[in-house]
């Protein structure tokens, strides 16, 4: 699936009327209702709200890990809401970089191997995989630890490696799910500074966070409540 060229006015992400309904024991739970959202290339957006408001569900739909019950989702010029599993997996690998709260590094692989692994599914040569992995590790300040294993790193260092893994594929957008949730305040601030630097270098970032201090790092704050967008704030810079 090849993305069509975008016009200057076209958003990277466009959600129109997105709904998500879960059915359990004949009870309908409306996790998301009528979500309208656009994210422009190079923008930094945070999604905030109380527990259970639909933040993680929205991020899962943005990341093609889940499908909406209704509405349309356009990513980089292509309709992606109702693609089959293999098509979603292919686009995830090429277009989306994930940064998880729990790092999700593979303990038996070195730092370098963790960053390189997603690139093996892209059909890249060994030389190109090495070049991309090293470039990503240098960006996050972890190239000196490439032969270490996750267990030999601090939490903050593991999250930096996770960011490098997301960057290696040169995705259209980085999706960060509570990226500071498992870190102390010092390491949390360091990771947020890293994301802010990546944004200054041109990265498009959408981050879910419960912490209003970190939400303010973004250009635009989206506030959810009971599955609906109830407020948008644009930060003055």
Structure confidence by residue, pLDDT tens digits, 191-209: 999 999 999 999 999 999 9
What would the CATH number be for the domain defined by 41-65+82-234? 3.40.50.300
Whole-angstrom Cα distance, residue 97 to residue 170? 8
pLDDT higher than 70, residue 9: no
Q: Which of 124, 103, 172 is nearest to 116 (CA)?
A: 124
pLDDT higher than 50, residue 28: yes
Long-range contacts of residues 194-199, Cβ cutoff 8 Å, at least 24 apart? 194/140, 194/141, 194/160, 194/163, 195/44, 195/163, 196/44, 198/139, 198/163, 198/167, 198/174, 199/42, 199/44
46-77 pLDDT, tens digit per residue, is 999 988 899 999 999 999 999 999 999 999 99
- Paired strand residues for 27: 24
Between strands 70-75 and 78-79, the pairing is antiparallel
- Supply 117's token pair: 């692994």
- Paired strand residues for 73: 15
**What is the structure's pLDDT at 236?**
63
pTM of structure: 0.89
Give the start-to-end residue ranges of the domains of the chain: 41-65+82-234
């Amino acid at each position: 699936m090849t993305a069509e060229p975008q016009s200057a006015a076209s958003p990277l992400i466009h959600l129109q009327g997105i709904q998500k309904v879960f059915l359990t024991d004949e009870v309908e739970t409306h996790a998301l209702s009528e979500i309208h959202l656009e994210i422009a290339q190079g923008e930094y957006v945070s999604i905030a709200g109380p527990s259970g408001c639909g933040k993680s569900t929205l991020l899962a739909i943005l990341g093609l890990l889940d499908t909406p019950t209704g509405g349309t989702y356009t990513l980089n010029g292509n309709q992606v809401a109702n693609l089959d599993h293999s098509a979603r997996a292919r686009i995830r690998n090429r277009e989306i970089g994930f940064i998880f709260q729990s790092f999700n590094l593979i303990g038996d692989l070195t730092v370098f191997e963790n960053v390189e692994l997603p690139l093996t599914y892209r059909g890249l040569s060994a030389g190109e995989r090495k070049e991309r992995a090293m470039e990503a590790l240098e960006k996050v300040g972890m190239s000196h630890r490439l032969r270490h294993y996750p267990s030999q790193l601090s939490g903050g260092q593991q999250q930096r490696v996770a960011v490098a893994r997301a960057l290696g594929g040169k995705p259209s957008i980085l999706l960060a799910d509570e990226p500071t949730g498992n870190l102390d305040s010092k390491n949390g601030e360091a990771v947020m500074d890293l994301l802010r630097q990546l944004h200054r270098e041109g990265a498009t970032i959408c981050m879910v966070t419960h912490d209003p201090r970190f939400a303010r790092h973004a250009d635009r704050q989206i506030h959810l409540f009971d599955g609906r967008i109830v407020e948008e704030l644009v930060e003055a810079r």
